[in-house]
């Protein structure tokens, strides 16, 4: 392995702005004239940053023979090595490293990452003796080594976060493209099915054929609603929100009644009791009430003005919403998470809440066995136009 294999480590140390200052401080504190940050592995010793006043000859990226250094020993026991006068030291006077490089003073502190990996050492050397007995010197250099390790950890975490963000953006882009293509490709055959049903109905006379055509039309209607829900979900979750057009009208009750009639015609078994004065959004709330409410009890629909707000309330009776589902109720695709079953993808309430938000409004629910399940949407009665 050559030093070129460690260019990433050299660049990582180089990008830490504090390293030159740290090396200068190490020389100042110890009185030694060479300081460096080294990358040390089981096979290599590579200089990553150097402050050299004795012309030792090392530059960033240069290597020493690992076995000729003390750092490979430090890598094994992970403890600092300090001596100020090698020729008089009982151990290091016989050690190969001071003899090989002509060293008298030496200090080396391990750099250990947060996950326990050994990166290398912060070290200083000189060919003349130095006074290194002061405990504050070792403590200060240990803090410097920890600072370098923390900076490297921060760089690694930042790279991981950037990679994850790039992956998430790419996945989001692909999902958005997939949903857009899906919506387009499903709408085309769906239109053909509806047109074919209309043509067959014009020619059919027997009751059985008419019933089959009615089933085809009903299924295509449900499919159309599902496609629109998926596209609205894509816009709300991955785009700029569900698009709406705010428009002031004199009587929104007409729109509410049209929506109610549309749902009633597609769900003839459901009974609605309504008191409608003002209008906005209904279809998804009604569809939810029909799906999960009891057919034995009418669904109550109210729309009225309350102070400066428009209020729409849809109430159905039956089994209350489980408490564990409440925090997930307005999130998409959460029906299965709460053990719920039913048709559709669970997008109806999510889209209803997004529509309420887009109108600067709110959507809330109360569900108890005595009074039933009541969804209440509130909107400002007037908008301030830019």
CATH number where 95 lies: 3.30.450.40
- Claim to verify: residue 299 and residue 345 sit in the same structural domain: yes
Ranges 10-24, 67-81, 241-255, 258-272: which has the least confidence: 241-255
pLDDT of residue 305: 79
Do 150 and 176 have their domain in common?
A: no
pLDDT class of 384 with cuts at 50, 70, 90: very low
The CATH number of residue 191's host domain is 1.10.287
Q: Is 161 a residue whose pLDDT tops 90?
A: no
| Pair 154, 181 in one domain | no
Whether residue 18 lies inside any domain: the answer is yes
Please say which residue of 159, 192, 213 terminates a domain: 159
Q: Does residue 143 share a domain with residue 172?
A: no
**DSSP classification of residue 243:** -
The range of the structural domain enclosing residue 199 comes to: 168-238
334: pLDDT confidence band, cut at 50, 70 and 90? Answer: low
Q: What is the pLDDT of residue 255?
A: 64
152 has a pLDDT exceeding 50: yes
For 206-210, 221-225, 256-260, which range has the lowest pLDDT when averaged over its residues? 256-260
Q: Mapping DSSP to helix (H, G, I), strand (E, B) and coil, where does residue 315 land? A: strand
Residue 195 and residue 129 share a domain: no
Residues 7 and 129 in one domain: yes
Q: What average pLDDT does this structure show over 275-291?
A: 68
Task: Provide the H-helix boundaries in the chain.
Answer: 7-14, 19-30, 71-77, 96-101, 135-203, 207-238, 253-266, 283-292, 348-358
Does 172 lie in the same domain as 63?
no
Residue 355: the pLDDT is: 82
CA 369, CA 292: separation in Å to the nearest integer? Answer: 13
Whether 286 shows a pLDDT value over 50: the answer reads yes
DSSP class of residue 83 equals E
Domain final residue, candidates 238, 263, 287: 238
Q: Does residue 91 fall inside a structural domain? A: yes
Which residues, including other chains, have CB under 8 Å from residue 215's CB and lie 6 or more apart? none
Q: What is the mean pLDDT of the chain?
A: 82
pLDDT digits (tens, 9 = 90+) for 90-130: 999 999 999 999 999 999 999 999 999 999 999 999 999 99
Asked if the structure places residue 264 within a domain, the reply is yes
Nearest to 196 by CA among 217, 226, 177, 181: 217
In a domain, 243, yes or no: no
The region, left, alpha or beta by phi > 0 then psi within -120 to 50, assigned to residue 136 is alpha
pLDDT of residue 372: 92
pLDDT above 70 (res 228)? yes
Task: Note whether 261 and 312 are same-domain residues.
Answer: yes
CATH number, residue 334:
3.30.565.10
User: What is the number of structural domains in the chain?
Assistant: 3
Domain end marker among 204, 238, 272: 238
- Would you say residue 385 lies in a domain? no
Kindly state whether residue 110 falls inside one of the protein's structural domains. yes
Give the residue-averaged pLDDT of 256-281: 60
Regarding whether 44 and 186 lie in a shared domain, the answer is no
User: Do 301 and 225 sit in the same domain of this protein?
Assistant: no
Same domain, 217 and 182: yes
DSSP type of residue 306: E
222 and 117 assigned to the same domain: no
Query: How far is residue 18's CA from residue 32's CA, in Å, rounded to a whole number?
Result: 19
Hey, which of 106-120, 157-171, 197-211, 349-363 has the most confident mean pLDDT? 106-120
């Amino acid at each position: 392995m050559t030093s070129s294999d460690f260019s990433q480590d050299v660049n990582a140390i180089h990008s830490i702005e504090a390293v030159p200052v740290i090396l200068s401080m190490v020389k100042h504190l110890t009185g030694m004239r060479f300081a460096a940050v080294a990358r040390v592995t089981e096979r290599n010793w590579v200089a990553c940053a150097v402050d050299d006043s004795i012309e030792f000859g090392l530059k960033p990226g240069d290597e020493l023979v690992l076995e000729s250094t003390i750092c490979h020993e430090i890598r094994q026991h992970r403890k600092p090595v300090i001596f100020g006068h090698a020729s008089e030291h009982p151990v290091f006077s016989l050690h190969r490293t001071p003899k090989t490089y002509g060293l008298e003073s030496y200090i080396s502190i391990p750099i250990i990452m947060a996950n326990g990996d050994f990166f290398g050492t912060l070290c200083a050397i000189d060919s003349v003796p130095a006074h290194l007995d002061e405990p504050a010197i070792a403590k200060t250099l240990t803090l410097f080594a920890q600072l370098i390790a923390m900076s490297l950890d921060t760089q690694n975490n930042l790279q991981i976060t950037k990679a994850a963000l790039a992956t998430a953006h790419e996945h989001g882009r692909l999902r958005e493209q997939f949903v857009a293509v899906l919506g387009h490709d499903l709408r085309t055959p769906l239109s053909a099915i509806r047109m074919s049903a209309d043509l067959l109905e014009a020619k059919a006379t027997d009751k059985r054929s008419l019933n089959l055509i009615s089933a085809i039309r009903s299924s295509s209607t449900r499919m159309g609603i599902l496609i629109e829900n998926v596209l609205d979900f894509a816009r709300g979750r991955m785009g700029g929100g569900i698009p709406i057009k705010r428009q002031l009208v004199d009587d929104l009750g007409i729109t509410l009644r049209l929506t109610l009639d549309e749902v009633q015609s597609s769900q003839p078994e459901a009974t609605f009791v309504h008191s409608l004065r003002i209008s906005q959004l209904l279809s998804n709330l009604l569809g939810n009430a029909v799906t999960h409410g009891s057919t034995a009890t009418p669904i109550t629909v109210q729309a009225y003005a309350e102070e400066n707000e428009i209020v729409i309330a849809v109430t159905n009776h039956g089994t209350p919403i489980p408490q564990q589902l409440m925090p997930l109720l307005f999130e998409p695709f959460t029906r299965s998470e709460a053990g719920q079953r039913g048709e559709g993808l669970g997008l109806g309430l999510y889209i209803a809440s997004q529509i309420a938000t887009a109108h600067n409004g709110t959507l809330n629910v109360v569900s108890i066995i005595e009074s039933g399940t009541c969804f209440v949407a509130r909107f400002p009665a007037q908008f301030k136009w830019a």
